[in-house]
Amino acid sequence: MTEAALDPAAIRMEQETGHVPPPPVTPKTLNDQVLQMLESPGLGWLALLAFDLVVLLVGGLALRNQIVLGLGVAGYTRPVMWAAYITNFVFWVGIAHCGTLVSAILFLFRSFFRRAVYRVAEAMTVFGVLTAGLFPIVHTGRPWFAYWLFPYPTQRELWPNFRSPLEWDVFAVSTYLTISSIFFFVGIIPDAAVARDRAKNAFQKLFYTIFSFGWTGSQNQWKHFYGAYFYFAAIATPLVLSVHSVVSWDFAMAQLPGWHSTIFAPYFVAGAIFSGVALVINLLIMIRKAWKLHHLVTNNHLEKLAKLVLLTSTIVGYSYLVEFWSAWYGPSEAERDLFWWRATGHFWWAFWIMFTCNVIIPLSLWSKRIRTNPAILFVICLFVNVGMWFERFVIIVTSLAHSFAPGTWEVNYRMSWTEAAITAGAFAWFFMFFLVFLKVLPAFSIAEIKETLRAPLRGKPS
Amino acid sequence: MRWLERLIEKLLASSPPTYKGVLGVFYYVDDAAATVRDLRQAGHTGLSVYSPVPHHEIEVALDQGLSQVGWITFTGGVLGLTGGFALCIYSVLSYPLVVGGKELVSLPPFVVIGYESMILLAGLSNLLGMLALGRLPQLKARGPYDARFTEDRIGIWVPCAGEEAARVRETMRGHGAEEVKVHA
C-alpha cells in the first residue's frame, strides 16, 4: 500500500476526481514502476530533447554573438545596465529554492507527503542553480575572466571585496550549488543501488555502481546515511533562507528607490519558494501523465503543494502592497514617485502582468475543487512562473529606469533579440538536464516511498 | 563493445568467496529482529544486516546507537566559520584599502562569508563523515550479497565456521528464515 493508499482521504479524493483507485503497491512493483522510467527513451522524449537542443543552440549562437561583438548587443541603455540577464539570474535562483524547501524543511517538519515529490524538486534545484550561475557570467561580457569572482592568491595580493553583496552572492550561490548537489546525490545512493541490482547490461551496472557508491543497505550504512541526512537537512534549511536573502541584498544594499528596503530578504525568499513550488507542480503533473504514475504522485500530493503556492502567494502579495504603503507613508519623494510610475508608467504592463499572475490568479487556489484539478492547477502554476519572471524584471528594470536623475527617465530599456535568445536558451539548458535526469536516475525516492509501505510482520511476540 | 562489457563485468565481479559464515534471508522484520537478538546473545557480535529500508526493530536488536557523523559535521562547521572570517580579515589586512576612513575589519559584512563558509564546510564534512563511517564507496562486495536486499528481503550475515555455523543455521531456520546459505 502506498502512502496515498494508506490515507483514506486520499483514496476518497482519487475516487471523487475520477481517477482509477491506486493499485496495491508492493516493494517489487514500486521498484519496477520507478525503474521503468529509465528504460530506452521513446519517440516523445527524443523529440522533446531534439527541440530543446535546437533552442539551446540558438541561445548558444546568441551568446557567441555577444562574446564576439560585446555587451552592446544586449539591450542595455544607460542607466538600465542590469536587465534580462540579472532578471534570469534571480528567477532561476528562485526556482532552485523549492527543492531544498521540499527536501530539507519538510523533512525536518516530518511532512511525509514530501517523499513522493522531493526527488523531482531536488533535481530542479540543482539544474536551476546551474542555470542561474550562467547569468552573472553572461552578464560580465567577458566570461573568460569569471574566475576573478573567486578569492585566490594573486601575485598582486589583490582580493575580492568581501564587503560587496556581489561577492556575498558568489559565496552564497556556489555554496548552494555544492550543498544542494550533495543532498541530491546522497539521496539517490540507495535508489541507485536498486537500479544497479536490476541493471540489464554491464554499462548500466557500472553507471549505477558509481552512483550508489557500492551501497549494500547494511544497517551500519543506513545508520550513518540517516544521521548525515538529518544534518544535511539541518544545514540546508538556514542555507536556503540565506541564499535568496543574499541575492535580494544585491539590490537592497544599493540606495536606489525601489531597491533600498529591509523587506527584500523575506519578500525574495517567499517569492522564490512560490515560483519553485509552482514549477515543481508543473513538472510533476507532466511526469505522472507521461509515465502514468497517478498512484505515486496523487492529487493529494498536488493539493498540498498547491497550498504552499497559495500561502507564498499571499506573502508575496502582502509584500507588494507593503512596498506601496512604505513608499506612500515614508519620507522619500523619489520612492513615492517610483512606485506610482512603476504601476502607471512606461512599464505598467509588466507590473500588472506580475500582479495579476502572482496575486490575483493564485487566489483561485482557495477553492479545493481547483487545487485538486491537475489541468487547472497546471495552468495556474504556468501563470505564476510568468508572473515571477516579470516580478524580477519589474524590480530590476523599473527601479533603474526611474532613478534619481530625471534626465534619464525618457530612456527606456527594450530587450534585444540576443537577450531573448539567451533567455530561451537558459530554459532549454535547464530542460536538457531535466530530460536527461528523467532517463538516467530514479526520479522518485524508491527507498523513502518504500518506508511508507507496511513492514511485513509475522506478529510473533518478541 | 562486447570486450568492454566483459572488462566491466570482470571489474565489478565480487572477489572469490574467501569469507566463511552463514547468510540468512528473511521476509518478516520481526523474524529478522528476533534472530539478531538470539545471535547476539549467543556471542555473535560481528553480524551484518542488509535491508531495503532501515527497520527500527533491527536497530534496537543490534543496539546500534546514534551515528557519530554529527561531530564531524560540527567540526567542519567550526572550521568553515573561522576560515571564512579569517579569509576576509587576512585579505583586508594584507592589502589595506581604506575608504572614507572606515575600519578595515568590518565584521557585519564578513558574517555573510563566514556563515556561507560554515555551511559549505559543514556539508562537505557531513558527506565525508557519512562515507567514512558507512565504509563507502565499496565498489566490490565484501561479503555475500543478494539483489533481493534492495527489494523486499532482509539478509543477516554471520561470520563463523564449523559447528558454530551449524548452530547459526539452526537459529536462523528456527526463526523462519526463507533461505540459509552456509559459506564454508
pLDDT by residue (tens digit) across B90-140?
999 998 888 888 889 999 999 999 999 999 999 999 999 999 999 989 876
Residue B19: pLDDT band (50, 70, 90) is confident
pLDDT score of A408? 84
Chain A: give the shortest CA distance to residue B48, in Å: 6
pLDDT score of A99? 80
pLDDT by residue (tens digit) across A257-296?
999 999 999 999 999 999 999 999 999 999 999 999 988 8
User: Is residue A5 scored above 90 in pLDDT?
Assistant: no
CATH architecture type of domain A3-151+160-451:
Up-down Bundle (1.20)
Residue A2: pLDDT band (50, 70, 90) is very low
pLDDT by residue (tens digit) across B51-60?
999 999 999 9
pLDDT by residue (tens digit) across A96-117?
988 887 788 888 888 888 888 9
ipTM of the complex: 0.92
User: Could you tell me which chain B residue has the CA closest to the CA of A31?
Assistant: B151
Nearest to A232 among B4, B52, B126 (CB): B126
Chain B: give the shortest CA distance to residue A186, in Å: 8
Nearest to B119 among A175, A213, A228 (CB): A175
| Interface contact flag, A227 B69, Cβ < 8 Å | yes
C-alpha distances in angstroms, A35 versus A121, A184, A291, B129?
A: 18, 18, 11, 30
pLDDT by residue (tens digit) across A388-404?
999 999 999 999 999 88
| Interface contact flag, A178 B139, Cβ < 8 Å | no
Nearest to B5 among A178, A194, A203 (CB): A203
pLDDT by residue (tens digit) across A136-157?
999 988 999 999 989 988 888 8
Annotated domain spans of chain A:
3-151+160-451
Chain A: give the shortest CA distance to residue B21, in Å: 16
Residue A462: pLDDT band (50, 70, 90) is very low
pLDDT by residue (tens digit) across A127-136?
999 999 999 9
Domains of chain B and CATH, by start: 17-64+140-183 (3.30.70), 69-133 (no CATH)
pLDDT by residue (tens digit) across A229-262?
999 999 999 999 999 999 999 999 999 999 999 9
